[in-house]
Amino acid sequence: MPAYVVSMMSIHDAETYRKYTDRTPPIVSKHGGRFLTRGEAFTCLEGQDYDGRLVILEFPSRADVEAWLNDPAYQEAMKFRHASSTMNYLLLQEGGENTQDPDPRLVAVPRAGRPVLTVAEVEQTTMSLRSRDKPG
The residue segments making up the domain with residue 131 are 103-136
Q: What is the sign, positive or negative, of the torsion defined by CA atoms of 44, 42, 58, 12?
A: negative
Plot region of 58 (φ>0 → left; ψ -120 to 50 → alpha; else → beta): beta
- How confident is the model at residue 7, as a pLDDT? 94
- Residues 32-78 have pLDDT tens digits of 999 999 989 888 898 888 889 999 999 999 999 999 999 999 999 99
81 with 133, same domain: the answer is no
* 87 plus 135 within the same structural domain: no
Contact call for residues 66 and 60 (beta carbons, < 8 A): no
Is 60 exceeded by the pLDDT of residue 123? no
Q: What is the DSSP letter of 116?
A: P
* Average pLDDT of the chain, as a whole number: 83
